[in-house]
Structure 1
Amino acid sequence: MTSTTHFVPQPRKLLPNWMIGLSDRVMDYYTGRYLHCDPVILKNPPPPQEGHQYMLYAHVPFCHTLCTYCTFHRFLFKEWKAREYFKNLRREMDYVKALGYDFTAMYVGGGTTTILEDELIKTLEHAKKLFPSIKEISCETDPQVITTPQFRNLQGLVDRMSIGVQSFNDDILKLSDRYEKFGSGEQIFERLQYAQELFPVCNVDMMFGFRGQSLDVLHDDMEKIVKLNPRQTTTYPLMVTSQTRQSVKGTIAATGIELADQYRCILDTFGNRYRQLTSWTFGQTNNEGFDEYVVDHDEYLGVGSGAFSFLNNSLYVNTFSLRRYGERIAAGNTGVERRREFDKHAIMQYRLMLGLFAHRLSRKYFREVHGINVDRYLMKEMLGLRISGAIKDDPNDPDRIIVTDAGKFLGLVMMKAFYAAMDQVRAELRAPLREEDM
């Protein structure tokens, strides 16, 4: 596929380069300070607290091939291991139910979650039976799986299916080793039209920041999304961590990329055609399920190897070893092996970042949910956002804080840094794994 249009960005930048660099340094400082987890000996995570709402996250760590730029927790697919894993996943759900948990929503991530559709269907049905309060299930997949006959069986079980496309440009697909696996951009486009008929919300995951991805190429990708007209789309920046830098530097990652110009291209192309739900999520209505479950759910519990949980004031991490995960489940335990407790100030900084990213900053939320005056409690952070032009007061609502276009881009930069740091945590926890752990 070649670009047939020429995109000319608006001359005004969202943020100057020095401010983007400063934001990256600030995020590096705080993620380095907070994002590390101590080993613990726990049978289970803590029980639920009365009046709290929770989301269930389930991780499926298997892929047929491993993309070079991906640092999510995943292993090469072996059917017997995957089937045993799904059984353990359902057992861990049983243990969580016994603790007293119920959930309002479920998100299944990977890996390739649909790698064994029959096992995934059993797992989703089991979850809905165990946790009757689940109202929405979100799941991920790839462009190849959506053409299989078994894929249709997920209709009626999954409310939101997210499909990783990254680009419709054949050169970008070849650069990222996706062309051989998933076909040409034209073939992927045709498959997406089929998938949209199956689920209430079909989300198309796109990515920018690849080498050779000019503004024209990016604009052409966004125009194809407009033509496809999915209920929802996400536009992630390529995230290169220290663990993946050697494998992708000079290969797929752009050098000297102007993120602000690319982001302006995305905003200008979508324009009034979509509602912007977060800094990188766009939907046809305001009530779409978000791609980033951490935005809508203050607390979530993860099941499966490598899953994260955030409960009360602590981050919990399940073992990244498939062997130890199976041993813990067989012993009647959940997969939790690490924990990191945070003080209130760190949690409030985290909530402020999420509010900026989701364009939903509310003084009322911080006052009623966390018992603080956000302007005083996070005075330095709020002042910095005002000086950068990221936020301004709503003249019609004293509780609402408006997130500007510059703030939306800053939210994207901060979340990019946050997820890159989480990828670093995953890489460090995977590093000690031996062959018998995989």
Structure 2
Amino acid sequence: MAEHNKLLPDWMIGLTDRIMKYYIDRELNVEPIILDRHPEPQPGHQYMMYAHIPFCHTLCSYCTFHRFIFKEYKAREYFVNLRKEMQMARDMGYDFTSMYIGGGTTTILEDELIKTIELARKLFPSMKEVSCETDPAHLATESFRNLKGLVDRMSVGVQSFDDNILKMIDRYEKFGSGEQIFERIQAAQELFPIMNVDMIFGFRGQTEEILQRDVDLLMKLNPRQITTYPLMVTTQTKASVRNTIAAPTADLAAQYRIILDTLGKNYNQLTSWTFGRSHDEGFDEYVVDHDEYLGLGSGAFSFLGDSLYVNTFSLRRYNERISQGKMGVERRKRFDKHAILQYRLLLGLFAARLSRKYFREVHGVDLDKALFKEMLGLKLAGAIKDNPADPDNLIVTDAGKFLGLVMMKAFYSGMDNVRAELRKPLSAIDM
């Protein structure tokens, strides 16, 4: 695609990556602390619960999330302890408006997952929605249907319908061909109010024609929600694939233009990389829709007040802590107000919901003054502009949405690097 048709010039994308790396290296690090549990909930605050299931039958080479090879006895013990930790949160006074279950493969033991969701709905009466992740193989199992009525949003990791890309990333043998995956999703859509299809762009060899075919197949499938992540390669990605599966960052802008031009005509854009049939789609990126969330389970993150909390990445230590009546949390990073404002600006840009009123009412600041340099930079980049019809809500342009995508990609890569550092000391007895 010609340079003038790109959303942002290559030099601006590169500069954004360097700026994000500077702030991530400076801010995203955590220190060991001694805590028995998370801080208590604050009156009037709303919280979301994140629960992590760190098990997979096989480990995808490009995936950087916290996960271990599945062993049934370990997974069943883990689910029992996860439910105990959930009870601890209830005993502390927490209530949650939403629950997001991530992994790993959350549906790896569907009977245990069902018990966990049923307990969550019983313990937390304010819970309005449950979002869960799965892979294409589980869609074909008979027991998968038992999740109907318990899960409001099921997200399926597809990545691509192109068989050559599926083979390159070792998913063809695990989950079947693109055609088989398409058929399984088509059959499973009626089970849940929202079926989300996760796709990835930015693979090496993923031409614009291949990406367009993927997007066209999505249009034919017509799920309620679509997420189109850029491939995230970090220090945790296996060295053997780091330089073989990722396309150059400069290619992302042209690919993103295809996604915007196709999906944008048929769906409402909910964030830089999520599209929904309506504006009321249930949550997609929980960090966007919830200022504060509590993470349960090994390797889970929490953001409460001014601090990021991280649970132990050791399964052994997690089980020991729960048996001692403690929660899984063991590390904390406290942020100053300016860093929190920068974080919320990033999320507002990413979600294309950048509100001066939010910063004024929630954080007590004038956005344009408190983040003068950041706002000036976004305006000069053509990422945002004032809305003459609504001065409180800024307009995020297509260039701004792409910039939000690049910045969020860098942020999540930074979180993956935190995971990598915390997993590094683990030995065989921790897994």
TM-score normalised by the shorter chain: which range applies? over 0.9
Residue 395 of structure 1 aligns to which amino acid in structure 2?
P
Amino acid at match of 1:44: R
Structure 1 moving runs of 4+ over 3 Å:
8-11
Aligned ranges 1:378-389 → 2 under 5 Å: 378-389=371-382
Which blocks of at least 5 consecutive residues in structure 2 are unaligned? none
Task: Evaluate the alpha carbon distance shift between residue 128 and residue 317 of structure 1 in structure 2; reply closer, same or farther with a 3 A threshold.
Answer: same
> Residue by residue, what CA displacement relative to the aligned partner does 1:307-363 show, whole Å, maximum 9, x if unpaired?
000000000000000000000000000000000000010000000000000000011
Alignment equivalent of 1:122, drawn from 115, 118, 124: 115
Q: Is the 8 A contact 2:13 2:250 kept in 1?
A: no
| Shift of residue 243, structure 1, vs aligned partner | 2.5
Deviation, 1:247, is: 2.5
Residue 404 of structure 2 aligns to a residue whose secondary structure is: helix
Matched, 1:60 2:23: no
Out of 315, 322, 326, the residue aligned to residue 333 of structure 1 is: 326
Question: 2:230 corresponds to which residue?
Answer: 237
Distance in 2 between residues matched to 1:307 and 1:346, nearest whole Å: 21
Does structure 1 residue 301 correspond to structure 2 residue 294? yes
Report 1:146-295 matches (<5 A): 146-244=139-237, 246-255=239-248, 257-295=250-288
Cα drift, residue 210 of structure 1? 0.9
SS of equivalent residue, structure 2 residue 37 = coil
* Pair 1:357-2:350 in alignment: yes
Alignment partner, residue 50 of structure 1: 43
2: distance between equivalents of 1:245 and 1:346? 31
Q: Partners of 1:250 and 1:55 in 2: how far apart?
A: 37
1:369-398 Cα offsets, whole Å, 9 max, x none, are: 110000000000000000000000001011
Judge conservation of contact 1:320–1:429 (CA < 8 Å) in 2: yes
Please list, as runs of the form range in 1=range in 2, the aligned pairs for 1:308-319 lying within 5 A after superposition.
308-319=301-312
SS at match of 1:46: coil
**Equivalent residues of 1:89, 1:303 under 8 A apart:** yes
Task: Report the CA distance shift for 1:246/1:257 in structure 2 as closer, same or farther (over 3 A).
Answer: farther
> Residue 327 and residue 386 in structure 1: after superposition, are their counterparts in 2 closer, same or farther (change >3 A)?
same
For the residue of structure 1 that corresponds to 2:190, the secondary structure is coil
Equivalent residues of 1:361, 1:401 under 8 A apart: yes
Larger mean CA deviation between 189-198 and 246-255 belongs to: 246-255
Root-mean-square deviation (CA, aligned residues, Å) is 1.0
- Cα shift at 1:256: 6.0
- How far apart in 2 are the matches of 1:114 and 1:271? 31
State the alpha-carbon separation in 1 of the partners of residues 249 and 375 from structure 2.
30
How far is 1:270 from its partner? 1.6
Q: How far does residue 64 in structure 1 lie from its aligned partner after superposition?
A: 0.1
Aligned-partner SS, 2:121: helix
Match of 2:65 in 1: 72
Output the amino acid matched with 1:273.
N
- Paired residue for 1:27? 20
Letter in 2 for 1:27: M
Taking structure 1 as the reference length, the TM-score comes to: 0.97
Cα displacement string for residues 140-164 of structure 1 (whole angstroms, at most 9, x for unaligned residues)? 0000001111100000000000000
For residues 248 and 222 of structure 2, the distance between their equivalents in structure 1, rounded to whole angstroms, comes to: 31
Q: Shift in Å at residue 77 of structure 1?
A: 0.1
* Alignment of structure 1 residues 97-112 onto 2, 5 Å: 97-112=90-105
Normalising by structure 2, what TM-score?
Answer: 0.99
Tell me the SS of whatever aligns to 2:212.
Answer: helix
- Which letter does structure 2 place at the counterpart of 1:67? C
Quick one: distance in 2 between partners of 1:243 and 1:73?
A: 10
Separation in 2, partners of 1:322, 1:270: 41
Q: Distance in 2 between matches of 1:381 and 1:252?
A: 33
How many residue pairs end up in the alignment? 431
Check the 8 A contact 1:9/1:265 in 2, yes or no: no
> Does the CA-based 8 Å contact 2:3-2:9 persist in structure 1?
no
